[in-house]
Structure formats: structure tokens, C-alpha cells
Structure 1
Amino acid sequence: MTRYIALLRGINVSGKNIIKMELLRKALASLPISAVSTYIQSGNILFTSDEKNPVVLEKAIGDLIAEVFGLEITVIVVTPEILGLAIEKNPFAAKTPTDSVQPYIVFLSDEPLAENHEALQAVDFQNDEFVIIGKVIYVWYADSAANTKLNNAIIERKLKIRTTARNLKTIKKLIELSAKD
């Protein structure tokens, strides 16, 4: 059995794509996964499965959400080890976060093609910085994540892949919770 974390994009944000976590946990009982728990309302699902292919799990969870809740949601499934590696490789680790400014990690459904990477690099994001390493984008917002052009929508449009972002605090908590289950 492998421990996984499903990261859902755009759940319960600004009154859109509302899914109650209790109802989601109940719906997930129909899938071949176990030890299901959720963390905060933004769509973080911790679970265990015999399935070795995360893409199969992404599709199963996405299809279930579409069927039960009527929402087309990006689902990216990772392991706690992948989250740990993402933290270890953070090129902004030396920067000091504040209440409004902290590093974000954007998880990608696939590695971006070089020409799409270049298209994203060509956009002027003012003082916001990002680094792409494999299937992860590390983001440092100069002001805050709320006041930026460097968001999931533009990243998806330029890279032509699905994404979901989490702040470092959430990622660390997901790693901690996955170790307890």
C-alpha cells in the first residue's frame, strides 16, 4: 500500500467549486482507496492505495468529483516523498517569508515543453520570481499571491498543462499528516 496526497485545484475558493470535505470523504469510499482524510477546505486528500500509477488515481478521483459534485476539477496525486523532495529543492529556501509573502510550490500534471517554458518566461511578472524544476514550479511573490499576474490560470495557459499550487506551510503539514496515518 502506498500513501498518497491528492491535490485538488480551485476547491472552495471565493465561493466557487464548493465541496464539503465530509461529503467528499464519503464519496471517496466508493473508490479502491483507504485511510482517507482531508486537510483544510481547499482540497487536500490523504489516502492509501494499492494502485501504483498516480495518473489512474487522478482520473478516478476526478471522474468521481464530476459524477457526484458536477465539477470538472484538476487532480494531481503525489506521494509524501515527492512533497519532501519539492521542499528540499526549493531555490527560494534562503528567503525569509512573512505573513503575506511566502513561497508557493505549483505542482504540474506533466513536465512542460521547452517552448512553453519559454512562453512563460517571456511574461513580465514584475518582481515575482519563479523557477521550474521538472514537474514543479517554485514561486516567490514579491508582494502576495493575491496581487499577482503569476497565477495558476496564466501558468496553465502558457505551459499548456494542468496545475495546482500550495504554500510551503500547507505542504509541510501534509507531509506531517501523511506520516501519522
Structure 2
Amino acid sequence: MITYIAFLRGVNVSGRHKIQMAGLKELLSKQKLEDVKTYIQSGNVVFRSELENSKELENLIAKAIQNHFNFDVPVIVMTISKLKELLDRNPFKTDDEHLQKQNYFVLLKEVPSVEAVEKLSKETFKTEDFLVAIDCIFLKCTAGYGKAKLNNNLIERKLKVEATTRNYRTMSKMLELSV
């Protein structure tokens, strides 16, 4: 059994794509995912599975949500080691709790084109620093994510890939729940 973390994009945001976490937990348990745990209402899930393919798990979860709730939700699944790696690679990593609140991870569902990455990497934003990696955009929002120009929707548009954003606290908590 492998422990995985799933991040759902856009659930329970602005009254759209409402999913109660208890209902999600029950639904995923019926998909033969074990030890399912959720964290807050924004679609963060830890589970165990015998399947060894993250993409297969993403499709399984997305299809189950589509069939049960009747809407599409992009899903990104990763292993504990992948989550640890992202936290370790964060170029804005700090022990300062105040500064940690400025750190965000834009998780990319697919690898964007080299051209799109190069184009985005050349852009600048007044209150944001960022680094585009193959699987994640590491984002530091000095004025807070709510005021960020470089938000999830802009990133999806610029890179032409689905993505979901999580703050440092959520990423750390998911790691904690997974071990």
C-alpha cells in the first residue's frame, strides 16, 4: 500500500462545486481507497492505495466525483516523497512563520510547454516573486494571495495546463497527515 495525497481544484469556492468532506471521504472509500482523511473544505485528501500510478488515481477520483456529484474537478495526486520534495525545493522556504504565510505552491497537473514556461518566467509582478518548475510554481505573495495578480486562473491561462494552489500551511499539514 502506498500513501498518496490528492488535491482537488476549485471545490467549495464561491458556492461552486460543493462537496462535503464527509461525503467525499465516503465516496473515495467506495473506490477501494483506504484510510481516507480530508483536511479543511478545499479538497485535500490523504489515502492509501495498492495502485502505483498517480495518473490512474487522478482519473479514478475525478471520474467518481463526476459520476456522484455531476461536475468535473481536476485532481492532482502525489506521493509523500513528492510532497516532501516540493516543500524542500521551495526557493522561498523559511522558518519565519510570518513569512511562511506568503508562500504558495501552484501544483501543475501536466508539464507545460517550454515556450509557455519561458514566456511566463519573463513576466514580473509588483508584489509577487515566483519560480516556475516542471511540476509546480513556487510563489511568494508579499501582499497576500488574495491580492496576487499571478493567481491560479492566470497561471492556467498562460501555461495552458490545469493547476491548483495551496498555501504553505496546507502543504505542511498534508505531509503531517500522511505520515
SS of the counterpart of 2:87? helix
Structure 1 unmatched runs, 5+: none
Match of 1:59 in 2: 59
1: CA distance, partners of 2:21 / 2:126: 36
Distance 1:100 1:35, change over 3 A: closer
Please, what TM-score do these two structures have when normalized by structure 1? 0.92
Match of 1:115 in 2: 115
Give the letter for the 1:53 counterpart.
Answer: N
Please, what TM-score do these two structures have when normalized by structure 2? 0.93
2: CA distance, partners of 1:35 / 1:47: 5
1: CA distance, partners of 2:99 / 2:133: 26
Match of 1:162 in 2: 162
Match of 1:47 in 2: 47
Structure 1 stretch displaced more, 124-133 or 12-21: 124-133
Give the letter for the 2:37 counterpart.
Answer: S
Regions of 4+ moved over 3 Å = 94-97
Q: Per-residue CA shift, 1:142-180, capped at 9, x if unaligned?
A: 20100122111111111111111111111111111111x
2: CA distance, partners of 1:109 / 1:165: 11
How far did 1:29 drift?
Answer: 2.3
Give the letter for the 1:149 counterpart.
Answer: K
Give the letter for the 2:172 counterpart.
Answer: K
Match of 1:86 in 2: 86
Give the letter for the 1:9 counterpart.
Answer: R
Match of 2:8 in 1: 8
> What are the residue-to-residue correspondences of 1:130-145 with 2, within 5 Å?
130-145=130-145
SS of the counterpart of 2:117? helix
2:148 aligned with 1:148, yes or no? yes
1: CA distance, partners of 2:43 / 2:171: 12
Distance 1:116 1:71, change over 3 A: same
Structure 2 unmatched runs, 5+: none
> What are the residue-to-residue correspondences of 1:68-79 with 2, within 5 Å?
68-79=68-79
1: CA distance, partners of 2:5 / 2:38: 9
Q: Residue 127 of structure 2 contacts residue 148 of structure 2 at CA under 8 Å; is this kept in 1?
A: no
Give the letter for the 1:32 counterpart.
Answer: K
Q: Residue 54 of structure 1 contacts residue 78 of structure 1 at CA under 8 Å; is this kept in 2?
A: yes
Match of 2:172 in 1: 172
How far did 1:100 drift?
Answer: 9.4
Identical aligned residues as a percent: 38
Please give the root-mean-square deviation of Cα atoms over the aligned residues, in Å: 1.7
The alignment covers a number of residue pairs equal to 179
Q: Per-residue CA shift, 1:81-122, capped at 9, x if unaligned?
A: 111111111101148553894200111112221101123234
Give the letter for the 1:138 counterpart.
Answer: F
Q: Residue 101 of structure 1 contacts residue 145 of structure 1 at CA under 8 Å; is this kept in 2?
A: no
